[in-house]
């Protein structure tokens, strides 16, 4: 059940308390940035902005305090003979690029073919968010999610496909709104066996 007063959609991620103290030097850095853009940090509308920005960044980067592998530590050994692909499809996420600290907005599809272990399906999304809520590049995010599942679940195969838009492309420089970037990582059977790879990509809608 969703509590409507409780802010972020994905209540399963533990955000820092909303009113953590912001050290003066952090607020001052943001005031400097505002000045650098050409605006006046002392103007009324901007007075509380450094505090808000500082706290927002703690949330955007909450993944640094979240060990992704921890989410895969509780596994179920009994899979009841299930030997088909487990897929969590089109998981929305937000990250920030490490080159511009601009938003990366996209969706990820994460699949694995279990060997002996399965995890609760929401754990795949938690692994994604733990890596996404850091300064990232999309290629590394894709690889980190896949590697984490591979190393901790020891499945027969892992497939991760991420499709995202980059604020640093849509909002500046070459300005190409609507252009998405797709990255993928295939491991185990999804890498070695063309039929398995085709099957998982089809399930993902590619």
Contacts with Zn ion, residue ranges (CB under 5 A): 97, 99-100, 168
CB of 176 to Zn ion, least distance (A): 13
Given the complex with Zn ion, which of 100 and 197 has the nearer CB atom? 100
Given the complex with Zn ion, which of 14 and 174 has the nearer CB atom? 174
- In contact, 61 and 96? CB cutoff 8 Å: yes
**Residue 20: Cβ-neighbour burial (10 angstroms; 0-12, 13-18, 19+):** exposed
CB of 165 to Zn ion, least distance (A): 11
Rounded Cα distance, 152 and 148, in Å: 6
Cross-strand pairs, 157:
113, 188
Residue nearest to Zn ion (CB): 168
Q: Coil, helix or strand for 202? A: helix
Q: How many CB atoms lie within 10 A of CB 194?
A: 9
Given the complex with Zn ion, which of 4 and 175 has the nearer CB atom? 175
By C-alpha distance, which of 104, 118, 26, 120 is closest to 63?
104
Given the complex with Zn ion, which of 136 and 156 has the nearer CB atom? 136
CB of 97 to Zn ion, least distance (A): 3
Rounded Cα distance, 162 and 19, in Å: 33
CB of 206 to Zn ion, least distance (A): 25
> What residues have CB less than 8 Å from 197, skipping those under 6 apart?
159, 186, 190, 191
CB of 174 to Zn ion, least distance (A): 11
Given the complex with Zn ion, which of 11 and 173 has the nearer CB atom? 173
In the block, which residue shows the tokens 């991420």? 162
CB of 180 to Zn ion, least distance (A): 14
Given the complex with Zn ion, which of 85 and 141 has the nearer CB atom? 141
């Amino acid at each position: 059940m969703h509590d409507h007063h409780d802010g972020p959609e994905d209540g399963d991620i533990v955000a820092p308390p909303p009113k953590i103290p912001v050290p003066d030097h952090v607020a001052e850095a943001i005031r400097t940035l505002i000045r650098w853009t050409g605006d006046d940090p002392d103007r009324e509308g901007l007075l509380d902005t450094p505090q808000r920005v500082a706290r927002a960044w703690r949330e955007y980067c909450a993944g640094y305090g979240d060990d992704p592998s921890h989410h895969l530590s509780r596994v179920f050994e009994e899979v009841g003979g299930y030997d088909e692909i487990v897929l969590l499809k089109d998981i929305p996420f937000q990250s920030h690029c490490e080159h511009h600290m601009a938003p990366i907005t996209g969706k990820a599809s994460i699949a694995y073919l279990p060997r002996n272990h399965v995890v609760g399906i929401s754990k795949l999304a938690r692994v994604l968010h733990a890596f996404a809520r850091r300064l990232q590049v999309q290629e590394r995010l894709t690889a980190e999610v896949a590697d984490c599942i591979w190393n901790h679940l020891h499945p027969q195969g892992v497939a991760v496909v991420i499709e995202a838009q980059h604020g640093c492309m849509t909002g500046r420089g070459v300005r190409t709104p609507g252009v998405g970037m797709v990255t993928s990582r295939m491991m185990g059977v999804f890498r070695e066996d063309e039929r398995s790879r085709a099957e998982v990509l089809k399930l993902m809608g590619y």
